[in-house]
Amino acid sequence: MFEKYGFSELQTPTLEYAEVLLGKSGTEAEKLMYLFKDPGGRDVGLKYDLTVPLARVMTQYPNLPKPFKRYQIQPAFRAENTQKGRYREFYQCDIDTVGTASPLADAEILAVISDSLTALGFKEFKIRINSRQILFGTTGDLNVLQSIDKLDKKSVDEVRDELKQKNISGSEITNIFAKLETAQPNDNLRQIIDLAQKLGAKNIKFDARLVRGLDYYTGAIFETLVTEPKVGSITGGGRYDNLIKSLGGPDLPAVGTSFGLDRICDVIKELNLWPDAVLTPTQVLVTIFSPELLDKSIELSIKLRQAGGGVELYPDDRIKLEKQLKYASQKGIPYVAILGPEEIAKNQVTVKNMFTGEQKCLPESELISFFS
């Protein structure tokens, strides 16, 4: 889907110089970085995200055609305490358009999100959109915005209590909530939403309570939620027109989003969106009845493979058939072909469906056309 929209793949090295990695991040991120000296004595570290390498590429290759549209699906590394859904090495998946401030670029990112999730089988998703300008029209207090950010997990009363504990006055809290209630998308946001819908994006909802990375987003911010299962946001992004420059790169506006691959996989699994997903690329295991009949099995495996499918020939001719069937079952191979003397005499093949246990004998040609 990324390529269908003209995003080209970028891969960057696992290692970056430490000064590149540390440029953006405060001490909080630094604690989670794998920094070390390489055997040549250089200060290096493992990629922490895909945005810093993107900024480095834009600096190092100033003549890349702009707008520069890239997708990148590569591991990032964080020295976290591991838990479900949080790993020290994990795949990040980003798309970004660098070098244009046009709202059309923002809208296109939303369309790619919507089309990608739809293609994956997602039906119930909601793309929340807000902007930095609207948020700062509500309050300039980052401390307050941090609490507002929790409104998708906590009740209004809980957030009110939290604000009170932060010494925000009752009238100020009422004022903030009133503003959140009545906030409307500004012109820029209206234009982005309108264009995104024209581009085919579904389920976009303006939400004045959406807060994201206010230290680097400069315009629109957006994230995608699913109602079931409760996994938090599965995409997150926005416009960041100053970030590349602040990382020491050229002054280029940019907009993009991350896809949370691990969470997306969790949803696919939980909702069984890919019921036909297979454990193995092999559709059929061609067994070997005996060393004398090996050639027959080799020939059948070649014919079936030429017909197109994933075909495994059991790689040892001195193993009992029973054990070969057990292997197919352990590996989740759906079909097994058996070519014994009886089958060969009749010019047929016995096929066993390993899920149902059903077994039948059919002409070789019929088996081949079944797998082609």
CB of 104 to its own copies, least distance (A): 5
| 196/225 with CB nearer its own copies | 196
User: Which one of the spans 59-67, 165-173, 334-342, 357-365 is the region binding its own copies (CB under 8 A)?
Assistant: 59-67
Q: Are 360 and 351 in contact (CB under 8 A)?
A: yes
CB of 8 to its own copies, least distance (A): 6
User: Which one of the spans 3-11, 54-62, 168-176, 179-187 is the region binding its own copies (CB under 8 A)?
Assistant: 3-11
Task: Decide: is 116 part of the binding site for its own copies (CB under 8 A).
Answer: no
| 163/337 with CB nearer its own copies | 337
CB of 183 to its own copies, least distance (A): 27
Strand partners, 36: 44
CB of 7 to its own copies, least distance (A): 8
SS (H, E, C) the chain: CCHHHCCEECCCCCEEEHHHHHHHCCHHHHHCCCEEECCCCCEEEECCCCHHHHHHHHHHCCCCCCCEEEEEEEEEECCCCCECCECCEEEEEEEEEECCCCHHHHHHHHHHHHHHHHHCCCCCEEEEEEEHHHHHHHCCCHHHHHHHHHHHCCCHHHHHHHHHHCCCCHHHHHHHHHHHHHCCCCHHHHHHHHHHHHCCCCCEEECCCCCCCCCCCCCEEEEEEECCCCCCEEEEEEECCCHHHHCCCCCCCEEEEEECHHHHHHHHHHCCCCCCCCCCCCCEEECCCCHHHHHHHHHHHHHHHHHCCCEEECCCCCCCHHHHHHHHHHHCCCEEEECCHHHHHHCEEEEEECCCCCEEEEEHHHHHHHCC
Task: Decide: is 292 part of the binding site for its own copies (CB under 8 A).
Answer: no
Task: Decide: is 39 part of the binding site for its own copies (CB under 8 A).
Answer: yes
Task: Decide: is 89 part of the binding site for its own copies (CB under 8 A).
Answer: yes
Task: Decide: is 119 part of the binding site for its own copies (CB under 8 A).
Answer: no
Question: At which residue do the structure tokens 């089958």 appear?
Answer: 343
For residues 208-267, which are near its own copies according to CB under 8 A?
none
Query: How far apart (Å, rounded) are the C-alpha atoms in residues 293 and 286?
Result: 12
Task: Decide: is 182 part of the binding site for its own copies (CB under 8 A).
Answer: no
When binding is defined by CB under 8 A, the residue of 18, 29, 104, 268 that contacts its own copies is: 104
When binding is defined by CB under 8 A, the residue of 17, 29, 75, 141 that contacts its own copies is: 75
User: Which one of the spans 21-29, 75-83, 156-164, 234-242 is the region binding its own copies (CB under 8 A)?
Assistant: 75-83
Task: Decide: is 33 part of the binding site for its own copies (CB under 8 A).
Answer: yes
User: Which one of the spans 52-60, 160-168, 203-211, 280-288 is the region binding its own copies (CB under 8 A)?
Assistant: 280-288
Query: How far apart (Å, rounded) are the C-alpha atoms in residues 224 and 136?
Result: 22
When binding is defined by CB under 8 A, the residue of 24, 56, 69, 128 that contacts its own copies is: 69
Q: Are 334 and 354 in contact (CB under 8 A)?
A: yes
When binding is defined by CB under 8 A, the residue of 184, 227, 272, 330 that contacts its own copies is: 330
When binding is defined by CB under 8 A, the residue of 100, 233, 242, 246 that contacts its own copies is: 100
CB of 35 to its own copies, least distance (A): 8
Judged by the rule CB under 8 A, the positions of this chain that interact with its own copies are 3-8, 13-15, 31-34, 36-40, 46, 65-67, 69, 75, 77, 79, 88-89, 97, 100, 102, 104-105, 108, 195, 198-200, 280-282, 285, 294-295, 298-299, 301-302, 305, 309-313, 315-318, 327, 330-331
